[in-house]
Amino acid sequence: MLSGVVLAGGTNRLINGELKALLSFGGQPMIARQLDRMREICDELIVVTQDPTPFLNIVNRSVRIITDFYEGQGPLGGMHAALSLAKHASVWVVGCDMPFISNKAAELLLERKRDGFEAVVPMVAGERYPLHGIYDRTCASHIVPLLQQGETQLSSLLKHIFWGERDDRYLCENGVDLNFVSSIKTFDDYEVMQRLEVFKSNQAG
C-alpha cells in the first residue's frame, strides 16, 4: 500500500507567473498527468498546496487536497503535512514541476525501503534527489524540530533519518529512464522538456 503526494505549495511559478502544476504537458495540466501516473501504483493521492482553489476543477475528487500545518516553510513544510495525514506507512513524494515521474523507479525505491529504511531516494549522476523519494510517514516527527530551527529544504531531513538509495546504474539496469528526476525551474526548462516529450512520444509511436 502506497500513498502518492504532489507538493504544489510555495510560489511554484515560472517567470510569467503561471503555476507550474497547471502548465500544459502532454496535452493535460502537469499535475493531472502526474496524478494519472501515480494512480497506477498508489492507493491514495494527496496534493499539498497553500491555495486549493486552482486545483479543484483539475484533479479528480478522489484526490485529497491539503494545506500546510506550518505555512511558508517550503517543501519540508509540505512534506510534514503529507506525512502527518497519509493513510499508508510508505509515501511517494514528488514536486509538481517533475513531468517525467516514474512508477518503476518508485517501485524500486519502495522495494529498497522494505529493507528497514525510513526513506529511500534516487541517486543520479552522484546527486541525491529527495523529491521522488519514498518516505515512511513516521518521518513527520523528525520534521517538526527542523522547521522550528528554520530548515525548509528536504535535504536537511536526510541528516536525521536512516535512509538508503537506488543509484542510476541500478535504475538503468531495471529499465528506468533517468529523466524521471528532471524538474522545471525556468521557462527554458519547460520548452526543453516539452521537446523531449514529443521525441519520446514519437519514439514510442
Which pLDDT score, from 0 to 100, does residue 67 have? Answer: 95
Mean pLDDT, rounded, of the chain: 93
Can you list the pairs that 116-121 forms with residues at least 24 positions away whose Cβ atoms lie under 8 Å? 116/162, 117/162, 117/163, 117/164, 118/161, 118/162, 118/163, 119/157, 119/158, 119/161, 119/162, 119/163, 119/164, 120/163, 120/164, 120/165, 120/166, 121/158, 121/163, 121/165, 121/166
Dihedral over alpha carbons 80, 85, 91, 95 (to 10 degrees):
-50
Which pLDDT score, from 0 to 100, does residue 8 have? Answer: 94
Say how far apart CA 205 and CA 200 lie, in whole Å.
9
pLDDT at 39 over 60: yes
143-201 per-position pLDDT tens digit: 999 999 998 888 999 999 999 999 999 999 999 999 999 999 888 999 999 999 998 88
When pLDDT is cut at 50, 70 and 90, the band that residue 205 belongs to is low
pLDDT at 11 over 70: no
Three cell numbers written together for 111: 522495494
Nearest to 184 by CA among 126, 100, 65, 122: 100
